[in-house]
Chain A
Amino acid sequence: MNKTQNNRAWFLVLPVFALVAFSAIVPLMTVVNYSVQDIFDIESRVFVGVEWYREILNDDGLRQALLRQFVFSFAVLLIEIPLGIAVALAMPQRGRWASLTLVVLALPLLIPWNVVGTIWQIFGRADIGLGGVIVTKLGIDYNYAANSFDAWATVLVMDVWHWTSLVALLCFSGLRAIPDAYYQAAHIDGASHIAVFRHIQLPKLKNVLLIAVLLRFMDSFMIYSEPFVLTGGGPGNSTTFLSQTLARLAVGQFDLGPAAAFSLIYFLIILLFCWLFYTTMMQLGRGPQK
């Protein structure tokens, strides 16, 4: 094909650039602006360079929040991705039952975050909540308001309840897109169920799984309302994740400079991990190229 070289074509990108500038770049730049100054009022502000960044990176509380955040997000991925695939595989493929299952699965996704927190706050109570009472009756000493591990586990189970459906629905759509001929060929080749999963379903699910992993990673890494409503970040700091720490810093203490520096680092971490997930998953299953 003959391609005409004309660099003026770049001007065609201008409208998009203008839109993105207003929606993302300009607001981001104001954050950058805050992160390198110490502002007292509109008249008096001091350029401080990377001081806020240094302060943030050396803050023990923040480091612990970051660690908690990673442990939580990876736990979310480790549970929700396999569970979502399993649910999608077990779902009826077509007919009335398939539609019904889809509706039931979509229900948790329709509930607002803070409502989910409220539901679980009541559900998990050891005195009147259905879940809490059952766990206590099983002889487990459970109290999410007092025990750090219980609180952490409750937030995790809540997230699994809220978001596994998303993974399942994505996988279901991916599975439905596999032509019947693949399964028929596998039958003829005498493939076992495991081989069908390993060599047909999993490779064909790669793209939807990539989306599922990215969405779940980003979302869980930015989780705010649910633990805020459920535990308020406690007991102690055991369920205080990054976004809540940031909110305390920015809105609670009004430390806009450090908060801005923190926001940018937060943003870069998410960007870096999304890129890592993307590149590793796209490389998976490539095998030797000649």
Chain B
Amino acid sequence: MARVELDRLAHSYKDRPTGDGDFALRPTDHVWEDGVAYALLGPSGCGKTTLLNIMSGLLRPTTGKVIFDGRDVTDLPTEERNIAQVFQFPVVYDTMTVHDNLAFPLRNRRVAESTVRVRVGEVAEMLDLSSYLNRRAGALASDVRQKISLGRGLVRTDVSAILFDEPLTVIDPHLKNSLRRKLEEIHRERKLTLIYVTHDQTEALTFADKVVVMHEGEVVQVGTPQELFEYPAHTFVGYFVGSPGMNLQPCEVDGSYAVVDGHRIRVADHALEISGRNGDRWELGIRPEFLRLVFDRPTDGFEAEITQVEDLGSSRIATVKAGGRTLRARLSEEDDVRGGLVWLVFPPERSLLYRNSKLVPTSPAGDS
């Protein structure tokens, strides 16, 4: 097991990158702590796979260093990095039996055959593959094949980290849960450093101790699922995590108030001597879960009209229009509404202020 450090790591697929836009991965500093399960979350094309392939050594970074436990491995080939990787599509050696598939990484490293048998037996047990050991791998269903590719990572005793590149994409939905639970179990037992790439936020939030959100080649936030929900450090995180995403409204700033269409809205306790410069772009962000709707005119309210109510099963989401703005709010159990006038109330501690897409630090969350 190891701590993996990225030092000013950047990558471009072009030979001579000119602008920022040429970089699939912008300069990144990051530390993957030993034994933690991370989810790497982001939309397709944001650089997740690039980052993964650099860590496993399949790709050489344009600049920067990869450090395993203080040792610079940037120039080491994949074979010498003690890293395992599971790909989006299950990779198995079709002509071998499941047993030989699992034994393959060990045999390639000239591990004694008696040890191989013991290790393969253990891993097969762990992944419920024991009954398949003598079957030819090519003929099996995709969830079993994916377990085999995972098993080839687990069978080695020397792995520093296991990287998963959207491993459940091709798995049937009802098998996804059981496989994910298997992964969590293995993580608890073996205390492995896991890095799990996904663009599915539910997967990321349920699986990981810490979630790393990437956007356009940059890491925009690292935090627990709760931190991502309550204090998105970037408007992208607010929009991407949560369903529906955060309400983001362009606004102006006056002291510790955001001004939206002439309404002064008190925002979370920022260390506000907000020193904006001209040209700064300000946005007020509030999650639909925290935006309150009241049906009697309050003293200081923001008038809006409900245009639509969606039933999501466990909750209902109202779409409200105020002036030219559209916001979404979660309705509480007792609110039985279909439409009509409402007033929006922004709880100050939940109303966050963003300058140029970045969260203005608030005292409760420190400077996350």
Q: Taking beta carbons and an 8 Å cutoff, which residues of A are in contact with B?
A: 179, 181-182, 184-185, 187-192, 195, 199-200, 203-204, 285-290
Contact = CB atoms under 8 A, between A and B. Distances in A.
A274 B77 CA distance: 45
Interface stretch (B90-98, B221-229, B246-254, B265-273): B90-98
Q: Which 5 A-B pairs have the closest CB atoms?
A: A190-B108, A185-B91, A285-B95, A189-B105, A187-B78
B89 interface: yes
A179 B94 CA distance: 14
Given A203-B93, A285-B95, 16 more contacts: A181-B88, A184-B78, A184-B87, A187-B78, A187-B79, A188-B56, A188-B153, A189-B104, A189-B108, A195-B104, A199-B93, A204-B94, A285-B94, A287-B96, A287-B97, A290-B134
Interface of B (DSSP majority class): mixed
B351 interface: no
B8 to A, nearest CB: 25
A77 to B, nearest CB: 22
B97 A185 contact: no
A290 B57 CA distance: 37
Nearest to A289: B136
B151 to A, nearest CB: 11
A203 B56 CA distance: 26
B253 to A, nearest CB: 49
B85 A191 contact: no
A277 B138 CA distance: 22
A195 B108 contact: yes
A190 B109 contact: yes
B160 interface: no
Given A189-B108, A200-B93, A286 B152 contact: no
Contacts of A286: 136
Interface of B: 53, 56-58, 77-79, 83-85, 87-89, 91, 93-97, 104-105, 108-109, 134-136, 138-139, 149, 152-153
Given A187-B79, A286-B136, A181 B91 contact: yes
A200 B138 CA distance: 12
A187 B104 contact: no
Nearest to B88: A181
A179 B170 CA distance: 15
Nearest to B84: A188
Contacts of B139: 289
Contacts of B91: 179, 181-182, 184-185
A181 to B, nearest CB: 4
A190 B78 CA distance: 8
A189 B104 CA distance: 7
A199 B95 contact: yes
A287 B136 contact: yes
- Most chain B CB neighbours (cut-off 10 Å) among A184, A203, A290: A184
A187 B96 contact: no
Contacts of A188: 56, 78-79, 83-85, 105, 153
Contacts of B93: 199-200, 203
- Most chain B CB neighbours (cut-off 10 Å) among A187, A192, A287: A287
A288 B135 CA distance: 7
Nearest to B78: A187
A203 B94 contact: yes
B96 A288 contact: no
A190 B79 contact: yes
B87 A199 contact: no
A190 B159 CA distance: 12
A203 B100 CA distance: 15
Contacts of A181: 87-89, 91
B200 to A, nearest CB: 20
A208 to B, nearest CB: 15
Contacts of A179: 89, 91
12 contacts: A184-B87, A185-B91, A185-B152, A187-B57, A188-B79, A188-B85, A190-B79, A191-B108, A199-B95, A285-B94, A287-B97, A287-B136
Nearest to B77: A187
A190 to B, nearest CB: 4
B99 to A, nearest CB: 11
Contacts of A187: 57-58, 77-79
A198 to B, nearest CB: 9
Contacts of A289: 135-136, 139
Contacts of B105: 188-190
A164 B96 CA distance: 30
B87 A288 contact: no
Contacts of A191: 104, 108
A184 to B, nearest CB: 5
A145 B152 CA distance: 60
Contacts of B77: 187
B148 to A, nearest CB: 11
